[in-house]
Amino acid sequence: MKLWDKGTEINKLIESFTIGKDTEMDYFLAEFDVLGSLAHIRMLESIGLLTSQELNSLTNELRAIYADIKSANFIIEEGSEDVHSQVELILTRRLGDTGKKIHSGRSRNDQVLLDLKLFIRHEIKTIVYEVAELFEILISQSEKYKNVLMPGYTHLQVAMPSSFGLWFGAYSESLTDDLLLLQTAYRIADQNPLGSAAGYGSSFPLNRSMTTDLLGFETLNYNVIYAQMGRGKVEKITAFALASVAATLSRLAYDVCLFMSQNFSFVSLPDELTTGSSIMPHKKNPDVFELLRSHCNRIQSLPNQILLMTNNLPSGYFRDLQLVKEEFIPAFAELKNCLSIACFAISNMTVNTKIMDDKRYENIYSVEEVNRMVVQGVPFREAYRLVGVSINNHDFHPDKTITHTHEGSIGNLCNKQIAEKKNRIISDFNFNRVESAFERLLSELNK
């Protein structure tokens, strides 16, 4: 069944090429297609395009289809071009002509855009909670090791004293900025495109505000042409947010790979979390973090892939946008898998609490010595010169006492404030609004 079928049989080669992986991708959208249809038919009944009896019949059958989708009993049959066609086919089989009325006032263009936006909201919510879990693990490790010093580096050269608390905490706060980008993507997706039809609206007196409320959207995409132009744009913006999370994970993974090498020996993993060599019996490789880094670097390429597929398209719908789904939809599962494995590995990580006992790090305290001399009245540039001469003459014997106290420093990590910032951001997503709307669609009796 094809919603656009007018009786002419399409060439099989053309049909196969144009459908591509749509069926495979549409399984990810199926539950959201049904939710969108539940809202749409309520609106159709309110403007007189469905009777109350037809609305009740369609609602009951759509809820049954939704249950089949959630229990993995839903199939897009051969001959059905996409999830929209399959749902309408099932309704027509069960309800006859009533099932054919469900598409009034819609186009597949606004239907798939709606499905994608509902999917994006759902997936971002899942990502947010995965990020929050990783955040808690990093903050916990930061608190656990807050008094354990480690070398800090610039240009990969030993620079100044840092701490494991500061290092773990840095990635915690990085995730809060990633959450802000996810929130931006969420709010852009949280605008209802339904009713824009093929991009030019409908002569039916559609109540777009009603479907906005029914689906728990924050607001509308008001202009129907812009609503359609949002296809590809919302995916690209979301891809940048996913890439931001991936960038944080990739950088963390690189640090761990570096810090696990014997030349650093800053951190370690249990043997069962490492792999070995087929020829070198001593090897314990951080493959999990190397693969985490590579997966995340691939995710960081996603915005560019979408940009190249959608760049220079004029207004209106084009089939180019179909290919975006093939790159975009799987990225969520890949990132969630990366977040999950990062949580597991980092929670099992231990640090070398004696690393600063190594004499190679003695010069790292040079800035501390310069600052102590400045406090005693020596001009900074003169103190800098004197300590430099002492180091060059190999007679620098530092006082290893660290007294950093300002916000965000070794002695004042501000982990509580960082956690409060994270909590505020997550609260601002207002996930409850969407959950309540969907609960009403799936359970309330029609009136």
Kindly state the tokens that stand for 315: 């207004």
- Burial environment of residue 273 by CB neighbours within 10 A (0 to 12, 13 to 18, 19 or more): middle
> Which residue from 184, 191, 254, 246 is spatially nearest to 218, judged by alpha carbons?
191
pLDDT exceeds cutoff 50 at 285? yes
Q: Give residue 72's region: left, alpha or beta (phi > 0; psi -120 to 50).
A: left
Rounded Cα gap, residues 53 and 63, in angstroms: 15
What are 237-276's pLDDT values in tens digits? 999 999 999 999 999 999 999 999 999 999 999 988 888 7
Kindly state the tokens that stand for 403: 């007294």
What are 37-82's pLDDT values in tens digits? 999 999 999 999 999 999 999 999 999 999 999 999 999 998 787 8
Q: Is the dihedral of CA 339, 340, 344, 347 positive or negative?
A: positive
Rounded Cα gap, residues 70 and 62, in angstroms: 12
Which residue intervals of 264-414 are DSSP H helices? 287-300, 302-310, 322-347, 366-375, 380-392
The backbone torsions φ and ψ at residue 153, rounded to the nearest 5 degrees and listed phi first, read -125, 145
Mean pLDDT score, 23-42: 94
At residue 447, the pLDDT reads 44
DSSP calls for 131-190: HHHHHHHHHHHHHHTTT-EEEEEETTEEEEEEEHHHHHHHHHHHHHHHHHHHHHHHHHHS
Identify the helix (H) or strand (E) that includes residue 117: helix 108-144
Instruction: Identify the structural domains of the chain with CATH numbers, from first to last.
Output: 12-103 (1.10.275.10), 108-154+164-356+414-437 (1.20.200.10), 358-410 (no CATH)
Rounded Cα gap, residues 244 and 240, in angstroms: 6
pLDDT exceeds cutoff 80 at 440? yes
**DSSP secondary structure letter of residue 435:** H
Mean pLDDT score, 7-26: 70
pLDDT exceeds cutoff 80 at 11? no
pLDDT band at 2 (very low <50, low <70, confident <90, very high): low
What are 403-432's pLDDT values in tens digits? 899 999 999 999 999 999 999 999 999 999
Kindly state the tokens that stand for 24: 């495979």
Mean pLDDT score, 342-369: 94
Task: Give residue 399's identity as a one-letter amino acid code.
Answer: D
Task: Give the chain's end-to-end CA distance (angstroms, integer).
Answer: 32
DSSP calls for 12-55: HHHHHHHHTTHHHHHHHHHHHHHHHHHHHHHHHHHTTSS-HHHH
The backbone torsions φ and ψ at residue 159, rounded to the nearest 5 degrees and listed phi first, read -120, -75
Mean pLDDT score, 152-161: 94
How many residues would you count in the chain? 447
At residue 312, the pLDDT reads 83
What are 234-248's pLDDT values in tens digits? 999 999 999 999 999
